[in-house]
Structure 1
Amino acid sequence: MKNTILLIGFLFISAFANAQDLQDLIQEAFTNSPEIQKFDVQYKIASEKVNEANSLPNTDFNFGYMAVAPEMEMPMERFRASVMQMLPWFGTISARENYAESMAEAQYVEVVIAKRKLALTISQLYYQLYEIRAKQDVLDENIALLQTYERLALNSLEVGKASAVDVLRLQIRQNELRQQKKVLIQVNKGIQAAVNSLMNRPYDKEVVVVASLEISEEENLYNYKSLDVNPELLKYDKLYQSVEQAEVLNQKESAPMLGFGVEYINQENSPMITSPFKDMVMPMVSLSIPIFNNRYRSQTRQNELRKQEIQFQKEERLNVLKAELSKAISQQNQARIQFATQKQNLKQAEDAEEILIKNYETGTIDFKDVLDIQELQLKFQTAQIESIKLYYVQAAVINYLTN
């Protein structure tokens, strides 16, 4: 089971191999994250309980000494000592170990879930960083383009083919784009700090992201049956098995306990006893029977109810995961459609820009139209980047749910 879950985790991480350094970020987070370390320690504690289960009840030692002895001609007891060891019914210790192991396996699934959730969070923040930095690059390109237009407007102003208002409009537009870039820089710092926080490293450490991402034109197909291997559901299977082991243990503990021991009695010398064997050694056997066993019957009923509860919890969680998968697939398809539309719009805006530039050669350029086209281009470019981010964020969610 453990190897299976590890394989699932590997598939989840390898799904992001297309993103530069993302896999390294995730692996580093697994190593440094206090949350993951917390779950690892909890798993070690649960594993150690297996050793705790492999133990016997305390051994009873008794010693008694006659402090004040009455005067009698009969032999008198000087002191007595005994030892008694109770033994659980056959198979009880094995049942305890099996129960402890089942609880440890359930805790191990919690470790896997925590790692997968951490990987998902880092992946989503990673693609947000990609979005912010891609938008910054687009803003830089548009600012450079507006500066080119500004030079054209100044040249046209000198020959009376443009007005000072055209130049000012171009300058104002550049100021707006520079403002947007400054805002993005601050947003980048916040998200970068969030990533570093999850990795337990300095908040201002640089997080490198991939330079560009593409969206497949083909619609991806997903199988809802793959949800069955999601650790969030496997956790309930492990809990169910632990309850079954708890019932086996309950049945074993409702059986009698056997005890074996020996008692030694030391006696003083007496004229009435001439035999050298005056002391007594008495082997003992004890049997502990749970006559009033309502507690065990109640525990059996509780275990049955607990198994029903776990089944309902699993069904409820499965429905939630199906809804989340449907939503993620829908949003990913929306992003793919939006990207294709914005790509077509951007191509047409670039064609319009080319027409305007050709008109400049004939001296009929309208810088108001230039600003309108530039604004459209920036809108389409920004929408493309947002579609890419949405596509890969939802891909991360889908991989979390199905791999």
Structure 2
Amino acid sequence: MRNWIWYIGFIFTFCSVQAQQLQDFIQEAEANHPEIAAYQLRYEIAQEKVEGSKWLPNTQFSVGYFVSEPETRTGPQRARFSVRQMLPWFGTISARETYQNALADTEFVDIAIVKRKLGLSVAHSYYELYSIVARKDAFEENIELLKVYEQLALSSLEVGNASAVDVLRLQMRINELNEKYEVLNEMLISEKKAFVKLLNRTSDNDAIEVIPLQIPEQDVVFEDIDFDLHPELVKYDRLYTSIVQSEELNQKESAPQWGIGVDYIPVSERTDLSFSDNGKDVFIPSISLSIPVFTKKYKSKTRENELKQQEIEKHKQDRINVLETSYIRAVSKRRQARIRYETMNKNLKQTQNAKDILIKSYETGTIDFVDILDVQELELKFKIQQIQAVKDYFKQSANINYLSNSYNKPQQ
């Protein structure tokens, strides 16, 4: 079988350590995932059908016994033994094998597609894990800082520079963040289990470490993308080829079949005469020809193949439109994520300046804990939005890679 399509791994745009870790997860999923194993078995079945395509019609054996022996010049005939072998028209077996090869090639493309989709799912789940872990860290950091402010509020309450309402407001805010932190804990447990299932690990007790992500300075851009090389479109090409081969096989099968055979008739000797050929057995070699007089079945198959080719072309064009649209949207969404990330960076710097002003106010003996809460809430909001922007950036990068990477045909 000609393995003309090779699977190329995802190319990720973050640093090599992060890329290698995620690539290791993808390779583990490919090695363990039952769906890929099922598709590989389908491909092996298709290869077996290639071997099975070299069949010939059953050899016919027949035996006949003359109840009333016919008398001939050389003696009475006792029985008749026959063997017949029909043979397809020249090139039919080769056409059948080529057709099965085309079907096997289609199954091989399915393996490449399911691997790529699995890699995309693993990447998306990994980025979701990053988002949850990063948000947990942001909430934890914010809670610890609010606890420091709570102690300051209690101290200020003792000297009359703060009210009990300020303390309660800080404590309620801490309680609210603790609730969100616990919710994220539950989300993390659930997402880790889902990630382990994607890897098809036997145990979910293995630690899943997520390395922090950082948006690179420049985006990886794919120039002159040929979507015709995308495996989802290559599959349509292979399907089209299989229909072409199916029609060639149909034309061969509509040709006559021919066969060869031999009959053997044992003859008993005549007792009433004596001559040289007395009792000589009879051998009858034969050639037969089977002509398909009624060809409606083959004409109908030809029309069916023509319609299937048109159907495949329409499906392929529709899929090209979907892939191109998805690529344009993914590139745009990645740019949007970068814009949001850079905007949140500016906002976080400004919230830090506001916090510095509040600290100076505390040193002069005047502090407004309502302002502290407002600034801390804004800072947490910007951090969460920045984390979301990072997650969206890498998810869209994975989508772009899925849509951009092509499969190469190896040298024959």
Question: Aligned equivalents of 1:115 and 1:2: distance in 2?
Answer: 19
Indicate yes or no: 2:272 matched with 1:243. no
- Mapping 1:204-353, distance limit 5 Å: 204-206=204-206, 208-218=208-218, 220-223=220-223, 225-271=225-271, 272=273, 274=275, 275-276=277-278, 278-353=280-355
Question: Aligned equivalents of 2:382 and 2:72: distance in 1?
Answer: 116
Aligned partner of 2:231: which letter?
Answer: P
Question: Aligned equivalents of 1:390 and 1:342: distance in 2?
Answer: 14
Query: Residues 262 and 193 (structure 1 numbering): CA distance in 2 closer, same or farther, change over 3 Å?
Result: same
Q: Which residue of 1 is the match for residue 111 of structure 2? A: 111
- Mapping 1:62-141, distance limit 5 Å: 62-66=62-66, 68-69=67-68, 75-141=75-141
Query: Residues 149 and 226 (structure 1 numbering): CA distance in 2 closer, same or farther, change over 3 Å?
Result: farther
Question: Aligned equivalents of 1:24 and 1:190: distance in 2?
Answer: 21
Question: Aligned equivalents of 1:340 and 1:293: distance in 2?
Answer: 71
**2:125–2:195 contact (8 Å) kept in structure 1:** yes
Query: Offset at 1:228?
Result: 2.2
Query: Offset at 1:198?
Result: 2.3
**1:102–1:242 contact (8 Å) kept in structure 2:** yes
Query: Residues 363 and 246 (structure 1 numbering): CA distance in 2 closer, same or farther, change over 3 Å?
Result: same
Question: Aligned equivalents of 1:99 and 1:207: distance in 2?
Answer: 48
The answer to which structure, 1 or 2, has the higher relative contact order (CA under 8 A, 6+ apart) is 2
The Cα offsets for residues 10-29 of structure 1, whole Å up to 9 and x where unpaired, read as 24266675346221221111
**1:192–1:203 contact (8 Å) kept in structure 2:** no
Q: Which residue of 1 is the match for residue 410 of structure 2? A: none
Query: Residues 206 and 367 (structure 1 numbering): CA distance in 2 closer, same or farther, change over 3 Å?
Result: farther
Q: Which runs of 5+ in 2 are unaligned?
A: 406-412
SS at match of 2:208: coil
Question: Aligned equivalents of 2:284 and 2:69: distance in 1?
Answer: 24
Q: Which residue of 1 is the match for residue 408 of structure 2? A: none
Indicate yes or no: 2:37 matched with 1:37. yes
Over aligned residues, Cα RMSD in angstroms?
2.0
Question: Aligned equivalents of 2:347 and 2:181: distance in 1?
Answer: 23
Query: Offset at 1:203?
Result: 6.6
Aligned partner of 2:196: which letter?
Answer: N
Query: Residues 226 and 199 (structure 1 numbering): CA distance in 2 closer, same or farther, change over 3 Å?
Result: same
**1:12–1:399 contact (8 Å) kept in structure 2:** yes
Q: Which residue of 2 is the match for residue 161 of structure 1? A: 161
Query: Residues 379 and 339 (structure 1 numbering): CA distance in 2 closer, same or farther, change over 3 Å?
Result: same
Question: Aligned equivalents of 1:26 and 1:217: distance in 2?
Answer: 25
SS at match of 1:317: helix
Aligned partner of 2:80: which letter?
Answer: R
Indicate yes or no: 2:385 matched with 1:383. yes
Query: Residues 317 and 361 (structure 1 numbering): CA distance in 2 closer, same or farther, change over 3 Å?
Result: same
**1:53–1:93 contact (8 Å) kept in structure 2:** yes
**1:217–1:336 contact (8 Å) kept in structure 2:** no
**1:20–1:210 contact (8 Å) kept in structure 2:** no
SS at match of 2:396: helix
Indicate yes or no: 2:395 matched with 1:397. no
SS at match of 2:81: strand
Question: Aligned equivalents of 2:160 and 2:20: distance in 1?
Answer: 52
Query: Offset at 1:367?
Result: 1.0
Query: Residues 273 and 236 (structure 1 numbering): CA distance in 2 closer, same or farther, change over 3 Å?
Result: farther
Question: Aligned equivalents of 2:343 and 2:278: distance in 1?
Answer: 110
The Cα offsets for residues 88-130 of structure 1, whole Å up to 9 and x where unpaired, read as 1111111111000000000110111011111111111110011
**1:13–1:119 contact (8 Å) kept in structure 2:** no
Query: Residues 71 and 276 (structure 1 numbering): CA distance in 2 closer, same or farther, change over 3 Å?
Result: closer
Moved more, 353-362 or 11-20: 11-20
Query: Offset at 1:73?
Result: 8.5
Question: Aligned equivalents of 2:232 and 2:278: distance in 1?
Answer: 74
Indicate yes or no: 2:26 matched with 1:26. yes
Moved more, 289-298 or 235-244: 289-298
Aligned with residue 358 of structure 1, among 357, 360, 364: 360
Indicate yes or no: 2:184 matched with 1:184. yes
Aligned partner of 1:295: which letter?
Answer: K
Question: Aligned equivalents of 1:5 and 1:77: distance in 2?
Answer: 64
Question: Aligned equivalents of 1:384 and 1:325: distance in 2?
Answer: 23
SS at match of 2:189: helix
Question: Aligned equivalents of 1:171 and 1:328: distance in 2?
Answer: 42
Aligned partner of 2:290: which letter?
Answer: S
Aligned partner of 2:311: which letter?
Answer: E
Query: Offset at 1:245?
Result: 0.7
Aligned partner of 1:124: which letter?
Answer: H
Question: Aligned equivalents of 1:116 and 1:37: distance in 2?
Answer: 14
Aligned partner of 1:335: which letter?
Answer: A
Q: Which runs of 5+ in 1 are unaligned?
A: none
Aligned partner of 2:308: which letter?
Answer: R
SS at match of 2:10: helix
**2:69–2:78 contact (8 Å) kept in structure 1:** no
Question: Aligned equivalents of 1:23 and 1:171: distance in 2?
Answer: 44
